[in-house]
Amino acid sequence: MTALRNITVLGTGVLGSQIAYQTAYRGFDVVAYDIDDAALEAAKQRFAGLADTYVTEGVDGAADGKAQAAIGRIILSADLGDAVAKADLVIEAIPENLEIKRATYEQLATLAPEHTIFATNSSTLLPSDLASFTGRADRFLALHFANRVWVHNTAEVMGTEATTPEVFQTVVEFAAEIGMVPIEIKKEKAGYLLNSLLVPFLQAAGELLVDGIAEPDAIDKTWRIGTGAPMGPFQIYDIVGLTTAYNISMMGGAKQQAFAALIKERYIDQGKLGVATGEGFYSYPKGE
């Protein structure tokens, strides 16, 4: 067992809330940080929904009180200093924006104890893109989760040349302790393993929409019927969240930036951010 007991998760969006809840579910004390009380109120609802989901989907022990007990191990905080004051490990799951991450890590560098390990869940930025902001490059690496962590329970661990082997191994062991399957990445690779496969697939779907070839429903239907996959690319976009999709697409070429502009105008500016808000490319009535 690692010495990591107090875990702080920065960001309580779709994936951040899952990371925090799964960690608490496996017996760790968790502080879930977000920028204001409104975000934390939304986080409360996500945690309650996750507890229900763990029960309805038959996660081991959930129906015997473990799902509700996990909520009791999560402390909510909108004060970054308080959130990381006792942290052994900080898992960052904030928006995919370099400047936001830079500002956050520069604060963390002065607020967190010297022993604290920092891990980014960034899907698109390499840990070496962020390491210089952390003030502890030797204790910094990437720990990347897939959506629906209780089912798709991979945790990709990827360090930089500065990450010490001891820190890398500690995070690998921690991932296993919270019920993940650790995937050790031997060298830095944008997209890790999962997104190296997934992102080109999603980008191809976005380009079909931008070019006017077909609408999301037809594209998704074709993929589901043709491959037997449970979801099509635009259903996946809704789960990932359209803000994340926008930020990632803005870093791409001209066609991807056109897709970013499209989803901003048609969806994000209308408050349609995906599953989290009940509407994105599709509508999600409450409870579905």
Catalytic residues: 123, 144, 156, 195
Q: At which residue do the structure tokens 């635009």 appear?
A: 234
Tokens read off for 132 = 């210089």
DSSP for the chain, please give it.
--S--EEEEE--SHHHHHHHHHHHHTT-EEEEE-SSHHHHHHHHHHHHHHHHHHHHTT-TTGGGTHHHHHHHTEEEES-HHHHHTT-SEEEE---S-HHHHHHHHHHHHHHS-TT-EEEE--SSS-HHHHHHHHS-GGGEEEEEE-SSTTTS-EEEEE--TTS-HHHHHHHHHHHHHTT-EEEE-SS--TTTTHHHHHHHHHHHHHHHHHTTS--HHHHHHHHHHHH--S--HHHHHHHH-HHHHHHHHHTS-HHHHHHHHHHHHHTGGGT--BGGGTBSSSB--TT-
Strands (DSSP E) along 127-264, which ranges? 140-145, 154-158, 181-184
